[in-house]
């Protein structure tokens, strides 16, 4: 283009747009990923079986315990185990209360346990009153107040105790879990112990986790369970999607984040478009000369789009790089940030659209330009 200031201006505009779009979409993806954190962490079952009215993972509508045996009897089911999920109040050693998410897994097999043990062993859940606590909660919301006034709280350790519904719970391990949308502390325990912690209700079975026999199609088995039991049976990936879509539909998150993404798109288009427009205004005579020399409008449009895509590629790279750096620096914070390839693809599509729109916006005057302008001094 021969104009360094405009060149930098266009790249800045596209970089800003790319950064904002990528960063906000990564935050959105991160938040959405947290909505199905429990499903992610409970990795072994291929199918989740639940009440037909359940819409997402936190929408617990307990089942009768006999439903477990009905599911086990369906053809194609390799194994089926009970799973409890509920919010309970934990009383800490200093007398304060903290709401925790209690996950009760099958006593016999311990299927559905935490994905990564940081301290202790999963089998230690069989010890009396054993619970496994997520490491982040152990250091923060479940931490014990320091014995020395003014000192930071002491992380919860193996052997420490707390109370759940007036019943003693002893920490037998620390685990790493995916941060959840509600960010509550997560406690793993056995299903039977979870029953004892939970308030008395007629039905306490939250989900039935199912493994499918080798060679069986997951979708077919799920349909068979639904047909035989009247329960809702979905594949793990489908349950993640159901959960995410619930939050997309019934929370304002997409609109709030989408506004920022749209803002980035508009600002990027405006900056790039105006700078491109100024560039073509300043070079009308050169464009006129090209038209006089036989360049068609189509050639000029392609030329401008090519220039636009060149600066777009640079701006996109810088923006995505900056967003990646942002995510890297915030990796240990509470920030929800995930940048899968789909985010990069959508961001690239948005930048491509900005480039094409900017090029078209700037070239309109050139397309209407009479080449005779070149002979005006």
Partner 1 sequence: MSAEVIVHCRNVAKSYGLGQERVQALRGVDLDVHSGELLMLVGPSGCGKTTLISVIAGILDPDEGSVQVLGQDMRTTRGSARTRFRGTNVGFVFQQFNLLPALSALENVAVPLLILGVPRGEAHARAQTMLERVGLGGRSRSLPAQLSGGQQQRVAIARSLVHGPRLVVCDEPTSALDQETGQRVMEILREVAVGTGRALVVVTHDARTFGFADRIAHMNDGRILDVVQGSTARAHKEHQTWE
Rule CB under 8 A: which residues touch partner 1?
Answer: 1-3, 285-286, 288-296, 299, 370-372, 374-377
Q: Which of 130/288 has CB closer to partner 1?
A: 288
Q: Which of 284/352 has CB closer to partner 1?
A: 284
Q: Which of 260/373 has CB closer to partner 1?
A: 373
Least Å from the CB of residue 278 to partner 1: 15
Least Å from the CB of residue 10 to partner 1: 14
Residue for token pair 């104009």 = 3
Measure the CA dihedral 233/237/243/249, to 10°. Answer: -110
SS3 content of the chain, % helix, strand, coil (to 5): 50, 20, 30
CA distances (Å), origin 294, targets 288, 301, 322: 10, 14, 42
Please answer whether residues 104 and 195 qualify as being in contact, where contact means their C-beta atoms are separated by less than 8 angstroms.
yes
Q: Which of 67/280 has CB closer to partner 1?
A: 280
Least Å from the CB of residue 299 to partner 1: 7
CA distances (Å), origin 53, targets 2, 42, 60, 83, 151: 64, 21, 9, 17, 48
Q: Which of 299/364 has CB closer to partner 1?
A: 299
Least Å from the CB of residue 8 to partner 1: 14
Tokens (6 digits) for 213: 């026999």
SS3 of 44-66: the string is: CCCEEEECCCCCCCCCCCCECCH
Q: Please name the helix (run of DSSP H) or strand (run of DSSP E) that holds residue 284, with its range, or none.
A: helix 284-292
**Which residues are CB-neighbours of 351 under 8 A, at least 6 positions away?**
14, 17, 18, 21, 268, 312, 315, 316, 319
Cα 177 → chain centroid: 14
Q: Which of 227/282 has CB closer to partner 1?
A: 282
231: Cα within 13 Å, side-chain hemisphere:
30
Q: Which of 123/282 has CB closer to partner 1?
A: 282
Tokens (6 digits) for 309: 């895509």
Least Å from the CB of residue 6 to partner 1: 11
Least Å from the CB of residue 290 to partner 1: 7
Interior/surface letters 334-345, b for 16+ CB within 10 angstroms, e for the rest: eebbbbeeebbe
9: helix, strand or coil: helix
Least Å from the CB of residue 331 to partner 1: 41
| Pairing mode, strands 167-176 and 130-134 | parallel
Q: Which of 147/293 has CB closer to partner 1?
A: 293
- Phi, psi at residue 263, to the nearest 5°? -60, -45
**Which residues are CB-neighbours of 96 under 8 A, at least 6 positions away?**
none
Cα 58 → chain centroid: 16
Q: Which of 360/373 has CB closer to partner 1?
A: 373
Least Å from the CB of residue 311 to partner 1: 13
Least Å from the CB of residue 1 to partner 1: 6
Least Å from the CB of residue 15 to partner 1: 21
For residue 53, count CB atoms less than 10 angstroms from its CB and return exposed for 0-12, middle for 13-18, buried for 19 or more: exposed
Q: Which of 281/296 has CB closer to partner 1?
A: 296
């Amino acid at each position: 283009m021969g104009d360094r200031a405009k060149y930098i201006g266009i790249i800045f505009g596209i970089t800003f747009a790319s950064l904002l779009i990528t960063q906000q979409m990564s935050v959105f993806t991160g938040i959405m990923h947290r909505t199905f954190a429990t499903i992610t962490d409970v990795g072994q079952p291929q199918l989740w079986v639940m009440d037909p009215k359940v819409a997402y993972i936190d929408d617990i509508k307990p089942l009768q315990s006999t439903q477990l045996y009905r599911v086990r009897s369906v053809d194609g089911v390799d194994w089926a185990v009970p799973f409890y999920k509920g919010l309970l109040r934990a009383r800490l050693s200093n007398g304060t209360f903290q709401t925790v998410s209690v996950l009760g897994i099958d006593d016999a097999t311990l299927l559905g346990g935490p994905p990564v043990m940081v301290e202790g062993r999963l089998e230690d859940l069989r010890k009396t009153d054993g619970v496994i606590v997520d490491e982040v909660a152990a250091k923060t919301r479940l931490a014990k107040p320091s014995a020395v006034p003014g000192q930071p709280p002491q992380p919860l350790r193996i052997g420490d105790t707390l109370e759940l519904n007036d019943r003693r719970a002893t920490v037998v391990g620390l685990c790493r879990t995916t941060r959840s949308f509600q960010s509550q502390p997560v406690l793993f325990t056995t299903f039977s112990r979870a029953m004892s912690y939970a308030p008395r209700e007629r039905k306490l079975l939250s989900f039935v986790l199912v493994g499918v026999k080798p060679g069986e199609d997951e979708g077919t088995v799920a349909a068979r369970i639904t047909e035989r039991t009247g329960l809702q049976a979905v594949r793990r990936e489908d349950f993640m999607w159901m959960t995410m879509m619930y939050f997309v539909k019934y929370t304002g998150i997409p609109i709030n984040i989408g506004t920022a993404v749209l803002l980035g798109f508009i600002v990027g288009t405006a900056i790039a478009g105006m700078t491109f427009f100024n560039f073509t205004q300043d070079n009308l005579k050169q464009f006129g000369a090209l038209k006089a020399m036989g360049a068609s409008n189509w050639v000029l449009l392609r030329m401008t789009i090519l220039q636009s895509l060149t600066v777009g590629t640079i701006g996109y790279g810088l923006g995505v790089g900056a967003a990646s750096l942002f995510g890297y620096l915030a990796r240990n914070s509470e920030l929800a940030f995930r940048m899968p390839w789909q985010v990069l693809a959508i961001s690239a599509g948005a930048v491509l659209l900005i480039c094409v729109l900017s090029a078209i916006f700037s070239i309109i005057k050139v397309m209407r330009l009479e080449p005779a302008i070149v002979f005006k001094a």
